[in-house]
Chain A
Amino acid sequence: MAGVLNTYFRNIFDTAATVFEGMAVTCSHFVRKPTTIQYPDRTDVRVQDTLPYRYRGILEVDLDICTGCLACERACPIDCIVIDAKKDKATRQMMLNRFDIDIAKCMYCGLCSEPCPTGSIHHTPEFEGADYSLESMLRRFVKEPVAAYKPKKVEDDPKILPVLERGMRYLDEFANPDEEEKGAEA
C-alpha cells in the first residue's frame, strides 16, 4: 500500500515539476519579439510587396512583347493556357486572336514562364485569387486581335523598352539550360 501511495505522490510531484520547467520556457516568450503579423490589413507594407522576386503568384501576360510562339502553351502540363495565333495573309503579320489563362486550373508551377523568349508571361507576387465563380477566373488577355511582337536586334520603341527590360530581367533568374536549342526551335 505504501508503494502505491508513494507512486501516486511521486507522479503528482513529477507532473508539477515538469509543468513548471515547461512554463519557464513558455514564459520567457513574454519578453521576446513577437513573430506573427496581422494579415491582411494591419501590416506596414502590403504582403505582396515583401515577397521575394521569384515568388510564383498569379500569371500575367505582357501582350506588348508576346511573340505568339506558343512555347508556354506547349510547356503547360495541364493546358490551362489557350492561345490562338494566326498569320494575317494581307499584312503578313502574326496576329494574336486569343490568349486565355484559366487561373482556376493553374498550379503555379512556373514551367510556362521558363521557355518564354521575351519574359512576356510571368508570375506576379499577387496571390489573393479567391473568387465566387469559376468563369471569372478565366483571364482573357486579348480583348481584340493584336499584332504579335517581333523581336528586333535593338529595341527602340520607348513604350516597349521598359516592358522588355522587365521581361528579360525576369528571364535572367532562370538557370537557362538550352539557349541555342530554344532559338533553333522557334
Chain B
Amino acid sequence: MSVAGFEVEVDRGSGLETEEMTLNMGPQHPSTHGVLRFVVKADGEVMRRAVPDIGYLHRSIEKISEKVGYHGFMPYTDRVDYVAAMFCNQGWGMVTEKLAGIEVPKRGEYCRVIAAELNRISSHLLAVGTMILDIGAITPFFHAFREREKINDLLEELCGARLTYNYMRVGGVAWDLPPGYEEKVLAFLNQLEPMLDEHYDLVSENTLFRGRAASVATISAETAISYNLVGPNLRASGVRYDVRRDEPYSVYPELEFDVPVGTGMAGEVGDSFDRYYLRVQEIRESVKILRQCFQQIPDGPVVAKVPRKLKPPAGDAQIRVESARGDMSWYAVSDGSEFPYRCKVRTGSFAAMSIIEEISQGLMLADLVTVIASLDIVAPEVDR
C-alpha cells in the first residue's frame, strides 16, 4: 500500500501480524459534527470497516407534526437540519401549499430564494471550514466563520434569529425584506468574493491539504448513484444533477446559474478534495443567484392569505428541495383535519452516512474524519 507517496510493504505471515481491533469513535468526539458514533474495525492504522451507528439524535420530529398542525410545525422544521434550516422551512411550506393548493406570491418566492441562498452560503462555509479544521488547520476555519457570522447577522435582521429562523410560513414568508437590505447583502457579497480568492490561496492550493484530501475516499459515479447520494456529494462524483435545475421549483427557472461538478483537479474525480472544492464553487453560484434575485424581485405581497386553522383536503403530496446537503424530499399526508396525518422527510445526510461503511474500507484511521467532514454530515439531519 502507499502512504504519503511511499510504497510500504505490510509484513504478513512472519509471526508479527496484527489482529483486528474494534474501536469506538464517538458518540462524543470533537470531529464528528454532532452526536454520531462509528464502530471501527481496524488493523493497526488501517480501517477494515467503519460502521455508523445512528439514532443518538432522534427527536421524533415527524411524529410531532401530527400533533401541532400545519402552522405550528414550521418552527420544528428548523430543527431537522439546524445548519441549513431555511431549506427545511421551505420544504414544509411547499408541501403544505401543494396539499392545500395555495399559491405563493412572486415576491414571497423571491424572498424565500434570497433567504435560502444566503443560508446555502453559510452552510457551505461551515462545511468547508470545519472540514479544514478536522484535517488540522485552524486559521481557514476562522476565516470561514467570520464570513458566516456576517450572514448570521443578515439573517438575524431578516427574520430575528440566527440559526432557527422560522422565516417562512405556509403561503409565503413572515416578514418582508427590511429597508436597505439589498445594499447590505450586496455589500456582503462584494467582499465575500475576494475572501473566496484568498481562501483559495490559503487552502485549495495548499500542498498539505491536498495531500490529506486528494484521492482519499473516492466515490465513483456508479457507487454514488447506487447509494443514492444527493447534492454536492453526488455532483462531486461527476453526476450533473441538481433539483434546482432538473426539477425546478420556486423561481429557479427564472434564474441563471451553473451546476458545477467534480473534475478531479487534485486527484481523482469524486475524491474528498472534489467534494470540498465543489462547495466552494457552489458558494460562487449562490452569489450569482442572489445578485439576480435582487435585480428581478418584484413588488407586492410576500404571503398569500391562509386561514389560521388550515385544513387541506384529504390526499398526499411530495416535493423536493435542493438543500445545502442535497435533495431533501418532504412527504405529507392529510386526512382533511387540521393536523397532518403523516409527514416524512428524506434528507441527504442519511444517504451520505450509509456510504461511509463502503468507502472507509482500507483507509487510514485518520482519514475517517476527512470522509465524514467531506461528506458534510450533519448528525441531527440523519435521525430527525
Residues in A lying within 8 Å of B, measured CB to CB? 4, 7, 11, 14-15, 17-19, 21-22, 24-26, 35, 51-56, 75-77, 107-111, 114-115, 123, 173-175, 177-178, 181-182, 185
Contacts and interface: CB of A to CB of B under 8 A. Distances in A.
18 contacts: A52-B156, A54-B160, A54-B175, A56-B160, A56-B161, A77-B68, A77-B69, A108-B161, A109-B78, A111-B72, A111-B75, A115-B308, A173-B175, A175-B174, A177-B172, A177-B301, A178-B305, A181-B305
SS class, residues of chain B in contact with chain A: mixed
Given A77-B68, A174-B175, A109 B308 contact: no
Interface in B190-214: 198, 201-203, 205-208
B307 interface: yes
B164 interface: yes
Interface in B72-103: 72-76, 78
A75 B69 CA distance: 10
Interface in B278-315: 301-308
Given A77-B73, A175-B301, A54 B159 contact: yes
A7 B5 contact: yes
Interface residues of B, number: 47
A175 B74 contact: no
Interface in B121-179: 139, 146, 149, 156-161, 164, 166, 169, 171-176, 178
A22 B68 contact: no
Contacts of B306: 177-178
Contact of A52 (B72, B160, B174, B302): B160
B258 to A, nearest CB: 27
Given A4-B6, A35-B149, A114-B174, 12 more contacts: A18-B207, A18-B208, A54-B156, A54-B178, A75-B72, A77-B69, A108-B161, A110-B174, A111-B72, A123-B160, A177-B169, A177-B305
